[in-house]
Amino acid sequence: MPEDVVITIVVNGQPTQVEANPDASLQSLIGPALTQTGNAGQPPENWELRDAQGKELTAHDKVEAFIGQTLFLNLKAGFGG
């Protein structure tokens, strides 16, 4: 079994570190990142992950492809609180 890795996710400008299995999907990072940063007002499906270049990532991409990178989690357009 692969060891968990730490991925840095910036949620609305606030960085947090989430532990994850490299074989897990990026979707598995959203809930913990929101909880750790106190962003409980919107459900996980209203958020989108992007890489440092601003490319939207799919929820099914694997964590292992993003080890060492910082990801950005923001509300999808049209959702606000």
> 5-75 sits in which CATH class?
alpha beta
pTM: 0.89
Of 64, 66, 36, the closest CA to residue 49 belongs to: 66
Cα-Cα-Cα-Cα dihedral sign, residues 32, 33, 34, 37: positive
Section 18-22 average pLDDT = 96
Question: How much is the pLDDT for 80?
Answer: 61
Which range (3-7, 56-60, 67-71, 72-76) has the least confidence?
Answer: 56-60
Helix (H, G, I), strand (E, B) or coil at 16: strand
For 34, phi and psi rounded to 5 degrees? -65, -45
pLDDT at 32 over 70: yes
Q: CA-to-CA distance for 24 and 31, rounded, in angstroms?
A: 13
Q: CA-to-CA distance for 71 and 57, rounded, in angstroms?
A: 9
pLDDT at 59 over 80: no
The structural domains of the chain, with segments of one domain joined by +, span 5-75
Section 11-17 average pLDDT = 95
Question: How much is the pLDDT for 60?
Answer: 84
